[in-house]
Amino acid sequence: MNPSETRWSAVVLGGGDPGDAFASAHGVKVKPLIPIHGVPMALYVLRALRDSGRVQRVAYVGPTTPEMEALIDLRATDHGTLLSNLESGVDALGKAGLAAGERVLVVTADIPMLTAQQIRDVLDAAPAEAGLVYPVVRREDCEAAYAGVKRTYAKVKDGTFTGGNLFILDPKLIGKFLPRLREVLDARKAPFKLAGIIGPSTLFKLLTGRLTVAGLENKVSEILGVPARALITPHAAIGTDVDKEADLTLAEQHTRPNPD
């Protein structure tokens, strides 16, 4: 199937901790409701999805505002954690009916610099055979787009990358890889347990910068039990979420006052 002919739905993750200090400082329940040019940052994400012309349905997880509601097809319960909210959003799409071959784009609601063209580029480049596709951005692309931006990077043999804040999945496979992914995330602060899951050889290569992107793809595919692929994208906005005041200032500088 031609990538442009694939049926796409989206899950937007806009939930979070109601006690988040960053959100509270701006007088809102959760971070995606923090205003940029007077409207919630999540509205920029929703508008980019709609303007892409590729996404048929949008399921939203988290609190909303009236202007956001007009761009949302389905509401899903906010369970307060990333994976639970992911499952909630995909479940909402499933209950509404998934078409044969339909794929799901999962996007966090805190990347307001995301554009419709960037979404089209990612969807067009995503390998059709992968059950899970995770975009990554080179450090030099991030720093060229946003001078002085502070991100968390990982060095592999192919370069230094930051992870994207969106990914693509085959909704039929979520029940297969989600329990294993939850296990990996639960082990991230327990080095010995994590080493047991990843394997000491792969962990050593990762820590020493000798692991390749292909090697990482193979290991993730093995761990999760589904074909997983990294997608290197030049779009820095995909790897730049708003987590602090400096990020908010950056977003205000790189977005226009009205996302409509």
Does some domain include residue 259? no
Query: Which residue's structure tokens are 């589904």?
Result: 226
Does some domain include residue 7? yes
Give me the pLDDT at residue 1, please.
Answer: 44
pTM recorded for the entire structure:
0.92
Q: How many domains is the chain built from?
A: 1
Q: Which domain holds residue 128?
A: 3-253
Does some domain include residue 260? no
* Residue 61, beta-bridge partner list: 13, 76
The whole-number mean pLDDT for each consecutive block of 10 residues of the chain, a chain of 260 residues, reads: 75 88 94 96 98 97 96 95 94 94 96 98 94 96 93 93 95 92 75 75 81 92 94 97 96 85
The whole-angstrom separation of Cα 159 and Cα 119 is: 23
Q: What is the CATH number of the domain that holds 234?
A: 3.90.550.10
Give me the pLDDT at residue 188, please.
Answer: 60
Does some domain include residue 212? yes
Does some domain include residue 75? yes
Does some domain include residue 44? yes
Give me the pLDDT at residue 208, please.
Answer: 82
